[in-house]
Each structure stands twice: as C-alpha cells, then as structure tokens.
Chain A
C-alpha cells in the first residue's frame, strides 16, 4: 500500500483561503479520519486529491508520483478513487453496468474491437463481468445486479457507490461521509465493510460527521478548521484536544461562538 502525502497544500476561491498550508500523510494500512466543522474544507481536500481542483501551492504525491499534475481519470488509474457526499451514481444504468463503468480504466478494448466483436473484446468483457460480479458479491449487491441503480433504496445506493469505486481496483479509497443518513445498525455494517476493505490492502481516508464511526474506525484523525489543520493524532487524543473542543463547541472569545456545528 502506497503512501499519500499532502505537503503544504493551498487553494483560494476568490479571497477565501479554502485550504491553507495543509500537510498530512495517509500511511499504508491505515484508516485516517478527516473531520472538522461544516465548511472546514474537508470535501475541498477530496477535490484537491482527486484532481477536481488544482492546488495553488504545495504538492500531493502518491507512490512517488505527483498527483496534482494528473487529470482526475489518471488519478483513478494511479489507484486513488473516491465516493461522493451526495450520491452520484449513473442512475439509468443497471447496478452491474455501474460497476462495469468502474472497470473502464482497467480494460483496453476500444471502438474497433467493439464493432467487430473480436475474440479479445469478448474475453475482456467476460473477465470484466466476472470481476464486477466479485465486487458486487463482496458488497452484498449481487442479487440486485440487473436493477436500475436509481431505483435502489438509499442505503444500497451508498453501497453501490463503494462497489463502483472498488471496481477500479484502487489501492486508496476516499470516502466522503459514507454514513450520512444511516441508522445505527447500518452504520455498524458500514464500519465492518470499511474494515474488510482495509483487509483487502486498500487504505482509507474518511470524511465523516458521525463521531461513533470516526472514533470506532480510524487509526488516526486529522482535524480541519477553516482550511487549516488544528490537530492530528489518535482518536483518544483528539477527543481531549482543547483546540478541537473549541472548534466544535466554541468556548467564546474572538467570535469563535459562531461555530456550533458539533458531533
């Protein structure tokens, strides 16, 4: 498992420094939590890592490669893939087709092969379907493979997003609030799922508001506030960290009271 390194990353939107001088590393074999109040820049960090935005300063390296110079689909090919805070499936496609779309970057055959239906094309399609089937089984979605993705219940749509991401054969998975809208039972299942993803040799960067999930799952946690890192450490340390308590609960003084989004 490679290491994902962010060094002194910054991005501005107009006058707003959405992310400012941020450095952290996602180590091999770890689940790293990224938390912070609303608007702290967590999703912006995801967008920077996955190439949606280009950082105005700093570097993002992965396995020795400079990710910040690659296009989003090249970053997926390099092994870093994400899910979305608001589910973004290909709604009119079937469950299986969604996962097959994730196989795109690991397959080769192009237009000519498809038009002539060459032996290579048929072999690749068969292998892809097999791999997609494995991923669907892993997420318990195999029996739903021919359903239209948009017709799945919410919880399964979240799972399908993870399935589509895993179909790209990532080595690093970024999950953007995967437990949003889940009941406690579903959250526990999700935690088991993320652990088994780690067991498959994929390290995980997790943005999550549900503190039970973050504290129960993450090896380390990075806390953001207003685009800056205010704390980093193991969950137990983070929970006692005075800066974190101030950021989440507000202890008065210098306008910090406006920040009341809490766990």
Chain B
C-alpha cells in the first residue's frame, strides 16, 4: 500500500506539472493571469479517484493467499454466468437505446472485432503491428468495390473480403518475417501508410480521396406466407438497430474464433514464439510459417470488421484508415490485457465510450482520456482483465515476494 501511495503521489505530481500550464494559464493581449482554483479542483478530483483505487487495492491485497488458491474456482464458475449476462445485455440493449447509443455500441463492437484480431498478432504471437488498420481498409474497400461494380451482396462479399485481407496479410507479413521488435514495428507502420496512400492515389480504382459512394447495406430475405405460396422479400438492414445485430454477429464470431485459436495447436505455437522464438524453432515449430499465419488470421478479422464498416457507412474514403486508428486498436489490446478476450472487450468499450462520456469536458476531453490511460498503465500494467496465463505469472511472482517479506 505504501508503494501504491508513492506511485499515486508521482502520478499526481506528474498530472500537476502537465495541468498547470494547460488549465491555469490565461493569456490576454498584454496580460498574464493564473487561475489556481481550476487547477485545484481538477487535482482534487484526481486525488480522490486515486485514493479510491489505492484503497480498493489495499483491501484486495489484505485478503490472505487463500483467496489466491481459490482463485481458479472463483473465476471459472462465474465466467459462464458473466458471458451469459453479457450476451443478454448485448441482445436486449439496442431495443431500449436511442440511435446515438446504438451508434456508439456498433462502434464498440467493430473495435472489439479489430482488437481481438490484432490480439492474435500482438497478444498471442507477440509481433508488434503498427499498421493493422490497413487490413480493415482492405476489407472495407473489397466490399465497396465488389458491391458497387459487381453488385455482390454483403454476405457473399464478407468471405471474399476475408480472403483478400488474408492475402494482404500474407503479402505484407512476408517481408517482415525475419525482423524482430522495433524494426518490425517500424516496417508495419510503413506498410500501413503505404496501403492508405495507395487508396488515396489510385484514382482509377479507388476514386482517390473522394472515396466510393453508393455501397449497399447488408440485406436479408425474409419469407412471407400468404395465399398458399411462400414469397421471399428482400430487405436492407439500414437502420442502426439491425446494423447493431450484424455487428454483434461479427463480434461473436470473432470472440468464438479467437478463443478457439488461443486453445489450439497453432495458438500454442504463437504464444511460444512470443515467449522465445529461437527456442520455439528449436522445439520443432516452423516459426516463419506460423508467424505468417498470425498475420493472415489477424487480417481476416480486420477484413470482417472493414466490410461491415463499409456496409454501415455506405461510403468509404482513405481518411478513415489513418495511423491513429491503428494506434487506437493497439491501445485497446494493451489497455484491455494482451491475450485476454474479456479484457479486450472491456478495453474496446472503454476506449470508444470514454471519449463520449468526456464530451462534457469539451476541449479537455482528450486530455482526460489520455490521463485515464496513463493512470491505468501505471496501476495495472497487465491490463484491465489480464489473460489467465499472464496474470498468474505476474501475480505469482508478486505473491512469492510478499511471502518472503512477511
């Protein structure tokens, strides 16, 4: 607890240094004033919030190690209930929400899909990818082009988009296979920008910065029974309510898919590469092939999300696929907890919803958001809901230290 208080002090001091010039300074034409009251108000809120976090941690740390031993049973039973509750909320929610809330929720679901896809690359295989949004763009443009030029419907374009994205993943991944760490990050950053610049400049196909208009929403056929015959009526899922359910379906497919991959032969190979690539190769794992698979699978999920995005907005242009989007998805993965599916769902919700919540703060919205992220990383470096493996590793060592000290 003492170390927590010290860390809180450091955070507050840091926040103070950051906030003083931004909140306090009032520059007139030839005057310079300082508004201390604003600063103290904000610092007060931060301090109270921080103390609550520290108190909560102190209470949970006070519980003896028996809690640690029970941990597994405690997590396992409610996990199913938690998922069930989340499912019920996800299905019921849009019926009671207004369109604004639905739109935010759809965004959350899209970023859940993106976060889980990037999690395959970053969280499982340990390859830092800063250009991930490129595959989202590939998915979006694939559907946009197929739909506007060939009238291919959404549900057929979805698998095609996945295949094209996976191909892009393989093409972009291939030259980076022998790189590690910083170099890999820089090259993926470059490839992400290349894809965006191609979209921006390849006027003949992509319409350049004007983007592609006139994309159709996802459609369904539903049966109508009447006069002894069944006819099928085509219906476009244009309303946010129906689009929400399409996004939910895609997110659920992604959750199930990533969960299954995580507990599979290939998933273990990815994690072993993250842990020690050389040892993995010398244990019989074809590391280059398995890394390429990680890129391709990550790209598949981004392709799903991208195709949906194009179908929802019914318009794509390159400015939706800038670097900050890649950074945002990476934030979701790191904030939520690398390798943790519930963590990434929560991370996506936090990253998308928090800026909306902070809208009241107007100009300081992004500052508050950035501050929240920083505090989060200081106090919970393993993420909101850490992956089981990772948590046991980090906490296990902490517990061992605690025993030695007691």
Chain A interface (Cβ within 8 Å of chain B)? Answer: 50, 52, 71-73, 76-77, 81-82, 84, 88-94, 97-98, 100-107, 109-111, 113-115, 117, 121, 124-125, 128, 148, 150-151, 164-165, 168
Contact = CB atoms under 8 A, between A and B. Distances in A.
Q: Which 7 residue pairs of A and B lie closest in terms of their CB atoms, listed nearest first?
A: A105-B284, A76-B284, A114-B264, A90-B275, A88-B279, A101-B272, A72-B281
Interface in B272-314: 272, 274-276, 278-287, 293, 297
B149 interface: no
DSSP class of B's interface residues: helix, strand, loop or mixed?
A: helix
B283 A102 contact: yes
A124 B275 CA distance: 24
A101 B265 CA distance: 7
Contacts of A104: 265, 268-269, 283-285
A111 B293 contact: yes
B286 A73 contact: yes
B220 to A, nearest CB: 24
A98 B261 CA distance: 17
Interface of B: 257, 260-261, 264-269, 271-272, 274-276, 278-287, 293, 297, 389-390, 392-393, 396-397, 400
Nearest to A106: B284
Nearest to A110: B266
A117 B260 contact: yes
A168 B265 contact: no
A50 B282 contact: yes
A90 B257 contact: no
25 contacts: A72-B282, A73-B281, A73-B282, A73-B287, A81-B284, A89-B275, A89-B276, A90-B275, A90-B279, A90-B280, A91-B393, A92-B274, A93-B271, A93-B389, A100-B265, A100-B268, A106-B284, A110-B266, A114-B264, A115-B261, A125-B264, A148-B393, A148-B396, A150-B393, A165-B283
A97 B271 contact: yes
A128 B280 CA distance: 17
A235 B389 CA distance: 45
Given A81-B284, A111-B293, A168-B283, A92 B257 contact: no
B297 A90 contact: no
Given A92-B390, A104-B284, A109-B265, A115 B275 contact: no
A50 B284 CA distance: 10
Contacts of B278: 52, 88
Contacts of A114: 260-261, 264-267
Most buried by A among B278, B283, B286, B293: B283
Contacts of A168: 283-284
Given A93-B275, A111-B266, 14 more contacts: A71-B286, A89-B276, A89-B279, A90-B280, A93-B268, A93-B272, A98-B272, A100-B268, A104-B268, A104-B283, A110-B266, A125-B265, A148-B396, A151-B396
Nearest to A97: B268
Nearest to A109: B265
Contacts of B282: 50, 52, 72-73, 76, 81-82, 84
B148 to A, nearest CB: 30
A84 to B, nearest CB: 7
B393 A128 contact: no
Contacts of A124: 265
Contacts of B276: 88-91
Which residue among B274, B282, B285 has the maximum number of chain A CB atoms within 10 Å of its CB?
A: B282
A121 B283 contact: no
Given A148-B396, A150-B393, A91 B265 contact: no
Nearest to A103: B265
Contacts of A165: 283
Nearest to A161: B279
A164 B284 CA distance: 10
Contacts of A107: 265
Contacts of B271: 90, 92-93, 97, 101
B14 to A, nearest CB: 30
